[in-house]
Amino acid sequence: MAVIPMWQCDRDGSMFADKKSAEEHDKMLELAANITSLLERQFTQIDDTLAEEIGLLLARHKEILAQALKGKPELILEISDNPEP
């Protein structure tokens, strides 16, 4: 019987076949949580679920957002309308 190493993300329990992917996912979730917290502090009437969804959206697309903030705003239009799981 073969042993297959797996890494589990502490934040959501997701399982990954390699440590690098698990760490990247964990960092993305940490960024999303911090964005969510910022939104909830700045917009006290925002729904918790909506704030979390926005946080995840921005964290998942951080590379595109970074490029857009550096002078390529049209790149934001490349973000898919379909939510990622």
Report yes or no on 49 lying in a domain: yes
Report yes or no on 38 lying in a domain: yes
Q: What CATH number should be reported for the domain holding residue 36?
A: 1.10.10
CB atoms within 10 A of CB 16: 17
Query: pLDDT category, 14, cuts 50, 70, 90?
Result: confident
Report yes or no on 2 lying in a domain: no
DSSP 42-80: H-TTS-HHHHHHHHHHHHHTHHHHHHHHTT-GGGGGGS-
Number of domains in the chain: 1
Q: What is the pTM of this model?
A: 0.79
Report yes or no on 54 lying in a domain: yes
Query: pLDDT category, 1, cuts 50, 70, 90?
Result: confident
Report yes or no on 11 lying in a domain: no
Mean pLDDT for all residues in the chain: 90
Report yes or no on 30 lying in a domain: yes
Q: Residue 65: which domain range? A: 23-77
Give per-residue pLDDT as tens, 60-77. 999 999 999 999 999 999
Report yes or no on 52 lying in a domain: yes
